[in-house]
Amino acid sequence: MKGMGLARLRRLLFVAGLSVFAVVALGSQPDPIRAQAGEPQQVATGSTWQGASFPVENFQDYTSAFGPRGYGDFHYGLDLAAPQGSYIRNWWAGVVVEVIDDGRCGTGLVIQSGPWEHVYCHLEGQVAKANGRNYLIDRAGGLQIWHGQQILAGARIGRVGMSGRTSGPHLHWGLRYSNQWIDPAIVLRAMYGQQRASVSSRTQE
């Protein structure tokens, strides 16, 4: 199943490569780090991703790529289909900076890791509040994730659900670098490349 996912990712990445310049043009706020064209590609491929986690268990398919999808709509993330209830894993160690509860994203989380923010939408469970802090509560999944909580890479942070605007169970996964949206497929490609290289160098020892 992993091999099939990779083949699909490669096809998707071909398209992603073509959209890099469109990505650069999208930032809505002035940002000194975003001075050079090619910066998103550079931070994605130039970073070390050995400790990063693939964001979902029981992955089935990439169902919607990052980019324009008609009707003037732009898809600011990558959709990863998985059976409802599959666990979502934190991509990179960080802190929960937002617990989302809205009609579009549904129940979701934003986790910050340095200049990166990773967004997870359409989760199972609800958002509740105690002592002035929001938290995600997913009783069936045995999860409680608090605003301000530190989360390790690979930790379970939620489950794939149908909250918000979605026609089927999937994780909508968004990535921002210095407030600029980045195609998550570019980062996944860099992650796979590095982690594969690391595995093959270990097996040669």
Which residues of this protein are in contact with Zn ion, per CB under 5 A? Answer: 77, 79, 172
Q: Closer to Zn ion at the Cβ: 147 or 172?
A: 172
We find the least distance from the C-beta atom of residue 78 to Zn ion, in angstroms, to be: 7
**Secondary structure of the chain in HEC code, one letter for each residue:** CHHHHHHHHHHHHHHHHHCHHHHHHCCCCCCHHHHCCCHHHHHHHHCCCCCCCCCECCCCEEEECCEECCCCCEECCEEEECCCCCEEECCCCEEEEEEEEECCCEEEEEEEECCEEEEEECECCEEEEECCEEEEEECCCCEEEECCCEECCCCEEEEECCCCCCCCCEEEEEEEECCEEECHHHHHHHHHHHHHHHHHHHHCC
We find the least distance from the C-beta atom of residue 108 to Zn ion, in angstroms, to be: 11
Sequence-ordered list of residues with C-beta below 8 angstroms from that of 182, at least 6 positions apart, any chain: 23, 40, 43, 44, 175, 176
Count CB-CB contacts under 10 A for residue 155: 16
We find the least distance from the C-beta atom of residue 77 to Zn ion, in angstroms, to be: 5
Q: How many residues does the chain have?
A: 205
Calpha distance 196→114 (Å, rounded): 25
Q: Closer to Zn ion at the Cβ: 39 or 175?
A: 175
Q: Closer to Zn ion at the Cβ: 73 or 205?
A: 73
We find the least distance from the C-beta atom of residue 197 to Zn ion, in angstroms, to be: 30
Q: Closer to Zn ion at the Cβ: 80 or 149?
A: 80
Q: Closer to Zn ion at the Cβ: 119 or 145?
A: 119
We find the least distance from the C-beta atom of residue 76 to Zn ion, in angstroms, to be: 8
We find the least distance from the C-beta atom of residue 19 to Zn ion, in angstroms, to be: 15
Task: Give the tokens for residue 26.
Answer: 């999208």
Q: Closer to Zn ion at the Cβ: 39 or 81?
A: 81
* Nearest residue to the partner Zn ion, using Cβ: 172
